[in-house]
Structure 1
């Protein structure tokens, strides 16, 4: 069995990446669809289901950036049960950089990150033991939202003139190419002494299995350092109406229930005498994202 595992180590490709050629059917709008980001899976038979004590075996993590944004700063942390296994060589933390979907690479980058692990010798009275291998990914990611909205200066239809548009609630089910999409927007035109202050109630949801984190603390989260609770469930928000910044509250937001509402308003307002018009609402979300996968390995005693 040890010989087979050693052959696997020699033949194993330490890392690879791939890009897809340009597609004739994908559009720029298609890139910003889907509720997905970085996907991680253990490679086939990496690690094996069963090994023997003192065996050295590969652990391969297949990583695919299926979202719309490049991972420029990311980390992969391997956790082993130290009583049963140890890293044979290298570091338990690897840096990650994977490009997201693009017109020239519609599936995004894929990479295999490898580790080599040694099963420790079992005790005299132990014939077999099962141990967990855990891989945690931490990376900075974004959500970009841009849609046409109506600035409705006659929200209650009191004017006789025909309006160019009417403000309506909007629901978005196709995502924005990330695990944390904007799922709903409710416009509200607030009037204050002849001034209309457009406000947009924005619903944000975590559609993935992982957790959002402070984008400035992702390296610490993928380490043995103590995590500050304030760094968890953290998203920075900025919004623009055309090119004018909106004031968003709260910001940053805490996504503790996997869904959160943020209200963004044009504080300077516009005169209610201005006719209703359509313009672009842009929302940027900046956050870290962390997710974990695990696999059990049976370690057997050599008899």
Structure 2
């Protein structure tokens, strides 16, 4: 009898535990809508993309030439765009390849051994991290050379996408109805703080001219690196493969959520940045004669990005080899 009661009690407890677990976690980013809203804000803002940090003492500041040279690089995707294997590489330059060899002479994908280096999202507002290792089995100082002092230049080259969704007011009857009758009045939209990527929209100017809505989109490089064309050779961006046509170019797509067609300039849907800024002008024709309303201007940028981090290194001849 006691055994039967114990089994019944255990069964009740198991069922209760399953019920409680099924009720929890309705909103993964937080128990309250405010928590989810805060997480979304963290994901959709910011001006960083892929950042790297050289792990302390890897490489050391000083090594003997008969030692193995190892550099450990922490790669952190601090933006909100996921990166796959072909989309990001780390390359080391600044050294003589006859002295330092091994994987130091190769470009290594940022997502190596991971497949995807995820950007920040509501489940992880910091983004994913990976560790990349460069190894030279030995260092070959030439005969009678006792010291070599290269500055290792760690280049990060990656493709990235920025999405921005400013809310804009369109008023087809801008000059015909009093402001008291309007649900909204067209005005410029400030977008400081970035959109979770190094390239973003800083503001959108909104003007109504007759039956046309004109949007002036200011593009800005908020990061510390340089923008490259989306099709640039990012696997060897430290080599001689980059040309002037590859520099400071951002591809763009702009559309209105309500389906109104847009004509944008530059016509080739590529804007070149000057002093890290550029401008896109889009016009919506024949927007009808409805009352003023608010809609979403959907902006997408595709580009490549290059950034660099330097690490001095001193190699001395081993006394055992003298």
Structure 1 residues 159 and 89: alpha-carbon distance in aligned structure 2, compared to 1, 3 A threshold = closer
In structure 1, the partner of 2:226 is 211
**Unmatched runs of 5 consecutive residues or more in structure 2:** 1-27, 112-116
Aligned to 2:141: 121
Q: Secondary structure of the residue that 1:290 maps to in structure 2? A: strand
Q: How does 1:147-166 map to 2 (within 5 A)?
A: 147-155=166-174, 157-160=175-178, 162-166=181-185
Bigger radius of gyration, 1 or 2?
2
Tell me, yes or no, if structure 1 residue 246 matches structure 2 residue 266.
no
1:269 to 273, 286, 298: 286
1:119 is paired with a residue whose SS is coil
Considering fraction of residues, name the structure with more strand: 1
Measured after TM superposition, the shift of residue 225 of structure 1 is 4.5
Distance 2:253 2:97 in 1: 47
Q: How many residues align?
A: 274
TM-score (norm 1): 0.84
1:30 to 2:30 alignment: no
Structure 1 residues 170-181: aligned runs within 5 Å: 170-181=189-200
1:71 equivalent in alignment to 2:83: yes
From 162, 173, 178, give the equivalent of 1:143: 162
Tell me if the contact between 2:51 and 2:77 (Cα under 8 Å) persists in the aligned partners: yes
Judging changes above 3 Å, is the alpha-carbon distance between structure 1 residues 226 and 88 closer, same or farther for their aligned structure 2 residues?
closer
Aligned counterpart, 1:18: none
- Partner Cα separation in structure 2 for residue 302 and residue 122 of structure 1: 12
CA distance in 1, matches of 2:71, 2:282: 46
Q: Secondary structure, in 3 states, of the residue corresponding to 2:194?
A: coil
Matched, 1:49 2:49: no
Partner of residue 73, structure 2: 61
CA shift, 1:183, in A, is 0.6
Shift of 1:262: 0.9
| Greater helix fraction, Structure 1 or Structure 2 | 2
- Displacement of 1:163: 0.9
Query: Aligned with 1:31: secondary structure?
Result: helix
1:123 CA drift (Å)? 4.5
Q: CA deviation at 1:51?
A: 0.7
Question: 1:97-112 alignment to 2 at 5 Å?
Answer: 97=111, 98-112=117-131
Within 2, Cα distance between the matches of 1:177 and 1:259?
Answer: 17
* Kept after mapping to 2: 8 A contact 1:214/1:233: yes
Q: For structure 1, which runs of at least 5 residues remain unmatched after alignment? A: 1-21
SS of equivalent to 2:245: helix
Q: 1:172 to 1:116 in 2, by over 3 A?
A: same
Comparing 213-222 and 232-241, the one that deviates more: 213-222
